[in-house]
Amino acid sequence: MKKVMFVCKKNSCRSQMAEGFARKLGEGKINVTSSGLEASQVNPTAIEVMSELNIDISQQTSDPLSNFKAEDYDVVISLCGCGVNLPEEWVVREVFQDWQLDDPDGQPIETFHRVRDEVKQRVEKLIDAVG
């Protein structure tokens, strides 16, 4: 099974949603973790919009990328265009993608819904490709 790391600036919205979708949709196909260039906390609105789809991310934690080793992962996905800020060992994994999705933090709930749906579509494609 491929090991996937979703990484974002603060690991509070996009990467948390991606982790939630990947855990549910990729169960038995991929192993998944998420982290941030800096740690913060899981955004309450992200928790809310994911729960609308019966995916509970309330127990997920926000962790700094520095807590993990690049060589433990096959696939690295940046969700915020922060790929240029990642240490080189993270961008030279078997698969690296920079999705550059809008940051919904501080935006209306409609933005959270749009970004959530974009994350879901991309996670489904990723699972099909590497799962």
Select from 107, 114, 90 the least CA-distant residue to 35.
Answer: 90
Q: What's the CA gap between 76 and 91, in Å, rounded?
A: 7
Is 80 an active-site residue? yes
pTM: 0.96
The one catalytic residue among 5, 8, 18, 25: 8
Question: How do the pLDDT tens digits run along the chain, 131 residues long?
Answer: 999 999 999 999 999 999 999 999 999 999 999 999 998 999 999 999 999 999 999 999 999 999 999 999 999 999 988 777 899 999 999 999 999 999 999 999 999 999 999 999 999 999 999 98
Which pLDDT value is given to residue 124? 98
**CATH number of this structure's domain 2-130:** 3.40.50.2300
Is 82 an active-site residue? no
Which pLDDT value is given to residue 7? 96
Q: Is 8 helix (H, G, I), strand (E, B) or coil?
A: strand
The one catalytic residue among 42, 75, 80, 86: 80
